[in-house]
Amino acid sequence: MAGIFKQAGRRFLPVFAGIGFIALVLQGCAGGAITGSVYAVSGAAATALHQKRQQFRENLYNDYNNYQTLFRSSGCQPSQYEISPKIIQYLENSAPTEDGYAEAQDILLEVYNDSTVSQDVRAHALYLAALTEAEKEGGKRSQAREYLKRVKSEFPGTHDCAVETLLEKGSLIY
């Protein structure tokens, strides 16, 4: 009986080898198709993130220029409304999958809540947190106005002119 299987095995060996070869070829083709699809989806996602980042940067520059224009004619002292170039740079370089405004706001609110920091720094942190609240994804302008009112009540004389300007004329806040 062993001889029958031996003869049959020799006779079907080329068939099994052929089927195995076809299976390997098809796996390679399927693997290539799947890998290609993954690369295509990944490329599309990367392109979408890049476009989102570019739009964010463009909006950041436009918002910053509008903000500067508003305050140039306000009569406020620059120390009340200045935004550090480092903050702008941080926002510009924030990860494209995250809301840079929200991330910056978290840091600013930590500074504001740190009682070991000077009053001026805490006041400016809260003021900037109001600006980031108005701009972040899902931000509430009503909350931004509340932050501004807190700046004026908790830290009188530090940002009064800037707060009044934003509350009266700032389209950013309304």
In this structure, is residue 66 part of a structural domain? yes
Domain membership of residue 80 as a residue range: 51-169
In this structure, is residue 15 part of a structural domain? no
What's the pLDDT score for residue 37? 55
In this structure, is residue 86 part of a structural domain? yes
What's the pLDDT score for residue 154? 96
What's the pLDDT score for residue 110? 94
pTM, entire model: 0.65
* Residue 10, both tokens: 């020799």
In this structure, is residue 87 part of a structural domain? yes
What's the pLDDT score for residue 16? 55
Domain count, the chain: 1
Cβ neighbours for 28, distance < 8 A, ≥ 6 positions apart: none
Q: Which residues of the chain have pLDDT under 70?
A: 1-42, 95-98, 170-174
Of 158, 161, 137, 134, the closest CA to residue 145 belongs to 134
Cα separation of 111 and 105, whole Å?
10
In this structure, is residue 72 part of a structural domain? yes
Count of beta carbons in the 10 Å neighbourhood of residue 63: 16
What's the pLDDT score for residue 136? 81
Cα separation of 116 and 119, whole Å?
9
What's the pLDDT score for residue 34? 55
Q: Per residue in 16-59, pLDDT tens?
A: 555 555 554 555 555 555 555 555 556 777 777 778 778 878 88
What's the pLDDT score for residue 111? 92
